[in-house]
Amino acid sequence: MTPWRERDTVRLLHLVLSIPILGFLYGPVAHIPRAAWFTRWIAVPVVVLSGLWIWLKPRIVKRLYMRDAHGSFRATVGPQK
């Protein structure tokens, strides 16, 4: 999967699963047991994780790339051994 396709897929998932959250807050979804369960236990965690992935993935990939380029990851704080 290409990086732009991955980002578009995660962004679409993030936006689509945000709709039930809005329905839970502003609509009758909170009074429908199955919809409320889906929103609480599926939609909210997926939206949070996909948001973190969109936000932090470039930093994580950069850090992993730096680790591979230097052979091993070295801490910048403290004495070097």
Whole-Å CA distances, 25 to 6, 28, 43, 69: 29, 8, 13, 47
Sequence-distant (6+) residues with CB within 8 A of 13 are 46, 50
pLDDT tens digits, the chain, 81 residues: what are they? Answer: 898 999 999 999 999 999 999 999 999 999 999 999 999 999 999 999 999 999 999 898 888 888 766 666 555 555 555
Sequence-distant (6+) residues with CB within 8 A of 14 are 47, 50, 51, 54
Contact 26, 69 (CB under 8 A): no
pTM for the structure as a whole: 0.74
Report domain extents, the chain. Answer: 3-69
Say how far apart CA 47 and CA 41 lie, in whole Å.
11
